[in-house]
């Protein structure tokens, strides 16, 4: 795509008219119109001003669109106006940049697995995923982002407001998943598990608007099942559910509270899983959906409260790679802070050694 077309796209996404953008950057409107139509070039200074006004990095206007994004947009015109698409675009470019200098960021990537065709296939895929993640049978999947990074999927969390739940892009090596951090922790974890499914079956690009919130069909329904099976392994859940129901003076509600805390899921996910493995009927499932964990539950049952993937959350290996680039002086402090998305300030960056005196004279003489 030409630079002019990208300027028009970014301006449109920002909801600005040509006149408004031109006024902001001190340019004549007809000059901006010619830039967008490709009949006039754009100077570096003008492009910097446009990028700043539209909240984009300059590279976005000149670099090629990542293949997976270009392919998806070609098949789904109009999707680029969504906030998650914009964020994914930015993340993919940044991760590609970091991995081009730090290839060790993605240390492993499994061979693509078959798409699950049945619920039983989805359960099998979850069992395979648990082995790939190095989990013991029945072990709760805590720190899902960290586990996914070990097999090449970098999971980011950004507050996107009331939009899509998540999206995934397959890179040349590894993948990037973006979770909408606007939602609560249980829904974030479910979305991350669902995106891991897309990654394992090598879906090039996926946007998911409501993971497991409705009766999805086809591959989305099977990846919903995969996500529940990954987070709530059937045999372990059966055993623990039976044990929790036998605790003196506790009810099915207490068992639900313990289960949701132990496996890190929301009540809707737990209720659906209990139905699909025949531990409760539909009526009890509806009651479990309405259960809310109280502070008293946390204290009396000694529960651990986690806030996994609270936004903005970046994969630790990605943060380490960015800091490595900064230490090597491959990138400036400003670039490092941008790549770290506000999670660091200038004082939080490593202190670099002063440049050798001879090198300083080379520059200043």
Q: From first to last of the 365 residues of the chain, give the pLDDT tens digit.
A: 678 888 888 888 777 888 888 888 888 888 888 888 888 888 878 888 888 888 887 777 877 766 666 666 666 655 544 678 888 888 999 999 999 999 999 988 899 999 999 999 999 999 999 999 999 989 999 999 999 999 999 999 999 888 788 999 999 889 999 999 999 999 999 999 999 999 999 999 888 877 775 566 788 999 999 999 999 999 999 999 999 999 999 999 999 999 999 999 999 999 999 999 999 999 999 999 999 999 999 999 999 988 999 999 999 999 999 999 999 999 999 999 999 998 999 999 999 887 666 665 554 44
Contact 180, 104 (CB under 8 A): no
pLDDT tens profile 265-308: 999 999 999 999 999 999 999 999 999 999 999 999 999 988 99
d(CA 180, CA 195) in angstroms, rounded, equals 12
Instruction: List the end-to-end C-alpha distance of the chain, in Å, as a whole number.
Output: 42
d(CA 109, CA 67) in angstroms, rounded, equals 19
Which residue in the block uniquely carries the two structure tokens 């049952």?
301
Contact 234, 251 (CB under 8 A): no
Helix residue spans in the chain (DSSP H):
3-14, 18-25, 29-37, 44-54, 58-62, 67-75, 83-101, 119-132, 144-149, 185-200, 218-231, 234-245, 252-263, 267-276, 282-289, 295-300, 316-327, 333-339, 357-364
């Amino acid at each position: 795509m030409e630079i002019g077309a990208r300027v028009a796209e970014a301006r449109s996404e920002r909801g600005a008219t040509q006149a408004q953008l031109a006024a902001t950057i001190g340019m004549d409107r007809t000059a901006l119109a010619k830039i967008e139509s490709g009949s006039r070039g754009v100077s570096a200074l003008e492009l910097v001003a446009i990028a700043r006004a539209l909240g984009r990095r300059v590279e976005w206007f000149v670099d090629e669109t990542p293949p997976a994004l270009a392919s998806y947009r070609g098949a789904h015109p109009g999707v680029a106006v969504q906030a998650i698409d914009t964020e994914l675009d930015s993340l993919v470019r940044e991760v590609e940049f970091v991995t081009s200098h730090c290839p060790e960021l993605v240390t492993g990537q499994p061979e693509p697995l078959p798409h699950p065709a049945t619920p039983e296939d989805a359960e099998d895929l979850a069992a395979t995923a648990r082995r790939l993640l190095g989990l013991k049978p029945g072990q709760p999947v805590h720190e899902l982002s960290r586990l996914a990074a070990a097999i090449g999927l970098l999971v980011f969390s950004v507050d996107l407001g009331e939009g899509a739940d998540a999206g995934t892009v397959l890179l040349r090596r590894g993948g990037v998943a973006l979770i909408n951090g606007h939602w609560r922790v249980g829904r974030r974890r479910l979305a991350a598990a669902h995106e891991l499914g897309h990654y394992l079956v090598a879906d090039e690009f996926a946007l998911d608007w409501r993971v497991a919130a409705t009766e999805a069909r086809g591959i989305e329904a099977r990846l919903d099942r995969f996500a529940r099976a990954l987070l709530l392994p059937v045999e372990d859940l059966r055993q623990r559910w039976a044990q929790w129901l036998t605790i003196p003076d506790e009810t099915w509600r207490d068992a639900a509270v313990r289960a949701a805390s132990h496996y890190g899921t929301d009540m809707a996910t737990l209720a659906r899983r209990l139905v699909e493995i025949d531990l409760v009927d539909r009526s009890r499932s509806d009651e479990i959906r309405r259960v809310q964990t109280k502070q008293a539950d946390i204290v009396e049952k000694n529960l651990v409260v986690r806030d996994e993937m609270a936004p903005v959350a970046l994969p630790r290996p990605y943060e380490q790679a960015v800091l490595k680039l900064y230490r090597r002086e491959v990138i400036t402090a400003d670039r490092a802070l941008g790549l770290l998305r506000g999670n660091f300030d200038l004082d939080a960056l490593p202190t670099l050694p002063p440049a050798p005196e001879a090198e300083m004279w080379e520059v200043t003489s």
